[in-house]
Copies of this chain bind each other. A is one copy, B any other.
Amino acid sequence: MKDDRVSEAVIHRLPKYYRYLTELDSLGTERVSSAKMSKDTGLNASQIRRDFNCFGGFGQQGYGYQVKRLRNEIKNILGINRQYNAIVIGAGNIGQALIKYENFPREGFFIRGVFDVDKKKIGEQINGLAVQPLGALKKFLRRTPCQIGIVATPKRAAQETADFLVSLGIRAIWNFAPTEVAVDEGISIENVNLSDSLYVLSYRMNTDKMG
């Protein structure tokens, strides 16, 4: 890692590299050049080499990159070489879908608890997890340390929920409410705004038109 503030553009290409290398590895491919990666992913070969070199020199001149090694380096860089515990706040549709999503545990992300303020939802079972009142969260986190707080509340509750999670020591917020949530320096945030995504699709539909 030589890291020198890596740009957002690079960060968002990392998962794509990781997926591609996983595919390559599962196919039994042992080595790959930036030229081949370029052909397969559509990204520029210079850019690919430059991206990797943000974190260190993983290749070898005249040879290219070892698929397994490179994949593993990127896995490390992304921090997905370990397990994470998460809690969900909000037992609505989005919260439930995330709890049931099979891919997350497969990738080392485990949702350990679900919390809601709605009394009617308390006790409800979602994928083997009983919905708990938000007031039970503090004690819960003492027994089950969690790194990630997933905000799946309505818009109006999103910011206060995030603030509450941070106050309890959570250092990463994954926000699904249709509004941006602000956090202090040092706290990680990732906003997934489905409405925004749909707006962008709508924009494209009204612009992409052609043969």
Contact = CB atoms under 8 A, between A and B. Distances in A.
Interface of A: 3, 6, 11-12, 14-16, 18-19, 77-80, 84, 93-94, 96-97, 100-101, 103-104, 107, 109, 147-148, 171-172, 174, 178-180, 185-190, 192-211
Q: Which of A93, A101, A192, A199 has the most CB of B within 10 A?
A: A199
Given A104-B198, A190-B197, A206 B97 contact: no
B78 A199 contact: yes
A98 to B, nearest CB: 8
B148 A199 contact: no
Nearest to A183: B208
24 contacts: A11-B200, A14-B200, A15-B193, A15-B199, A15-B200, A18-B199, A19-B179, A78-B206, A79-B203, A79-B205, A93-B100, A104-B198, A107-B195, A109-B198, A171-B208, A174-B198, A174-B201, A185-B210, A186-B209, A186-B211, A188-B201, A188-B204, A190-B204, A192-B197
A178 B211 contact: no
Nearest to A95: B97
Q: Which of A148, A180, A207, A209 has the most CB of B within 10 A?
A: A207
A80 B199 contact: yes
A193 B107 CA distance: 14
Contacts of A97: 93-94, 96-97
Query: Considering the complex of A and B, which 4 residue pairs feature the smallest CB-CB distances, nearest first?
Result: A97-B97, A188-B204, A79-B206, A15-B196
B103 A195 contact: yes
A190 B202 CA distance: 9
